[in-house]
Structure 1
Amino acid sequence: MTMPLYALVVLIWGSTWIALKMQLGAVPVELSIAYRFGLAALVLFAWLLLTRQWRVPRGAAVPRVLGQGLCLFSLNFVCFMHASETLASGLAAVVFSSASIWNALLARLLYGRRLAPHVLAGSVLGLAGLAVLFWPELQQGGQASWQGLAWALGGTLCFSCGNMLSASLQALGYRPLHTNAWGMLAGTLLLAGYALAAGLPWTFDASWRYAGALVYLAVPGSVIAFTAYLTLVGRLGPEKAAYATVLFPIVALNISAVAEGYQWTPPGVLGLLLAMAGNVLVFRPPRWLQTAGLQKA
């Protein structure tokens, strides 16, 4: 079941970047995300009730679920939607692919897992790829592109923190189906509370473009893909589960080329290949590293 879950996550999340861009407009970013996860939470709770799988988080799980709601189902997407205001959706997906690196670093920091030489090498290679890919964009776009890149990196770090929280919840015996429902509800309430406190206008765009993107992001993009991905986190650990993000940019950039007019350039291709190679190196070190004694089997 591992490979089908990977394929499902890659295909769905690789195509949600353009849907995120379609959400930009008259509706404040925070409310668009609240609508998305509010709808996704309703779908999940309805499923849990129908299948009699209802479970309420208790004890040590409660703050972790709240943290997951903050990191995975609110701040993460606030950051990426702001990034999409100045970056092509495919470029934001490339930044997101560095989640595999951040997951490995956080696992080292939080759980003391050994940071092998190939992880360090892959991190350097991946970050170099991002620099090559984004340099023309940053030169042409100026401060706006730098801000977009900063938003995307912040969203990726939030995503990785949410991965760690999900892994700890599954270690406590909670399935992603349950924690996602409660986490999405928490994220929705946090964003709604912020919207009220900030005095944001409570608007909704009834156009097919906005509403269609909302439904796609809420059901396939949230209910299905997040459940599949966090199931991989529980089975394989957050570091290896994030390997799925290596393939997102291929899907996202090709969609961006058609929908947004993104143009492939030699530096862009080189940067993408370096970024992906860095992520691959994190999880699939070449045999010579193992035979050299630098990597424990």
Structure 2
Amino acid sequence: MTAFLYIVTVLVWGTSWLAITFQSGPVDSLISIFYRFALASLLLLPFLYLTGRLQKARRADHLWFFLQGCCMFSFNFICFYHSSKYMASGLVSIVFSAAIFYNAINNKLFWGVTPSKSVYGAGVLGISGLTLLFWQELMQTEASHELLLGIGLAALGTFGFSLGNMITVRHKKHDINPLTSTAYGMSYGTAVLLLIIFVTQTPVTWDDRPLYGFSLVYLSVFASIIGFTAYLSLVNRIGANQAAYATVVFPVIALALSSVFEDYTWGVMNSLGLVLVLLGNAVAMNLVKFPKRATVPVKL
């Protein structure tokens, strides 16, 4: 079951970054995010209620659902959508793969779970890999400021996503299943987005392109309902640190799609960078271990 959840998460989220770029157009990104989670919550919450799968929750639980909605289903996606305006969707997904490091740190801060020493070595590999991946873009002086802004927004969104992971760990401790937390979290996230739209007076418009409608349905049903439920189920089953490894695998799919649809080109530098990022995350997950230094007994 764990392997199945991994595959679903990787395939769905690996293709969702390209669908996000299809949302670019006359509709403000804030409105597109609202459409996405409004449709997802309108489909998921009534379905769970009518089928008797929606758990009863306490008032305190709803507070945490609200916080999870802010972290995972509203503010973080505002960052992701805006970052996609400044760099290729595949590169956004690479920054998102840093969730494994955020989770390791936040697990220590919030739950006292100490990350393994290999995480620090993995961090060096990951940062080196990201530098190589962005090397060509960073060397383009005219686009460097926008690229840095895009990286910063993606990193901020990833941090919010990690905080949502920590709330999921809390839900597990209170026997709240991922379907219930996802349904309520998306509903509260949608309400937050609606409030932001009202405060910022963002015009509510629609894009008549079939591609926009198709990508909206895909993002709502597959990337939101199925993708988040599968991922949060992984968090429940194997923990936040292990589940975050899924965010490492799908950038390969996302970058492959970027090379086809967004003219993202591969060279020696960014190819090596991708290898280092994947290797760093694999080390962090203890799939690859650094060789231990041999100790020589000292004779007295």
Equivalent residue number for residue 85 of structure 1? 85
How far the C-alpha of 1:113 sits from its partner, in A, is: 1.4
Equivalent residue number for residue 52 of structure 1? 52
Equivalent residue number for residue 102 of structure 1? 102
CA contact (8 A) 2:283 2:289 kept: no
Instruction: Please give the per-residue CA displacement for 1:132-154, whole angstroms capped at 9, x wherever unaligned.
Output: 21122122122111101111111
* Structure 2: distance between partners of 1:172 and 1:290: 40
C-alpha distance 292-166 of structure 1, shift in aligned 2 (>3 A): farther
CA contact (8 A) 2:119 2:284 kept: yes
C-alpha distance 286-260 of structure 1, shift in aligned 2 (>3 A): closer
Gaps of 5+ in 1: none
CA contact (8 A) 1:118 1:285 kept: no
Gaps of 5+ in 2: 296-300
Letter aligned with residue 88 of structure 2: A
Equivalent residue number for residue 156 of structure 1? 158
How far the C-alpha of 1:204 sits from its partner, in A, is: 1.4
* Structure 2: distance between partners of 1:206 and 1:56: 40
CA contact (8 A) 2:123 2:280 kept: yes
Equivalent residue number for residue 206 of structure 2? 204
C-alpha distance 287-30 of structure 1, shift in aligned 2 (>3 A): closer
How far the C-alpha of 1:292 sits from its partner, in A, is: 7.0
Q: Secondary structure at the match of 2:87?
A: coil
Within the alignment, does 1:189 sit opposite 2:191 as a pair?
A: yes
Equivalent residue number for residue 180 of structure 2? 178
* Structure 2: distance between partners of 1:7 and 1:54: 25
Letter aligned with residue 133 of structure 1: L
TM-score of the superposed pair, with normalisation by structure 2:
0.94
* Structure 1: distance between partners of 2:221 and 2:289: 41
Q: Which moved more, 1:44-53 or 1:26-35?
A: 44-53
Q: Identity across aligned pairs (percent)?
A: 41
Within the alignment, does 1:256 sit opposite 2:258 as a pair?
A: yes
CA contact (8 A) 1:37 1:73 kept: yes
* Structure 2: distance between partners of 1:91 and 1:246: 12
* Structure 2: distance between partners of 1:56 and 1:123: 40
Q: Secondary structure at the match of 1:60?
A: helix
1:1-297 aligned at under 5 Å gives the runs: 1-140=1-140, 141-284=143-286, 286=288, 289=291
Q: Secondary structure at the match of 1:261?
A: coil
* Structure 2: distance between partners of 1:266 and 1:287: 25
Instruction: Please give the per-residue CA displacement for 1:204-241, whole angstroms capped at 9, x wherever unaligned.
Output: 11211111100000001111110000000011110000
Q: Which moved more, 1:47-56 or 1:131-140?
A: 47-56
How far the C-alpha of 1:60 sits from its partner, in A, is: 2.7
* Structure 1: distance between partners of 2:7 and 2:40: 21
Instruction: Please give the per-residue CA displacement for 1:71-121, whole angstroms capped at 9, x wherever unaligned.
Output: 100111111111100100111111111111111111111112123210111
* Structure 1: distance between partners of 2:242 and 2:106: 13
Q: CA RMSD in A?
A: 1.6
Aligned length: 293
How far the C-alpha of 1:27 sits from its partner, in A, is: 1.2
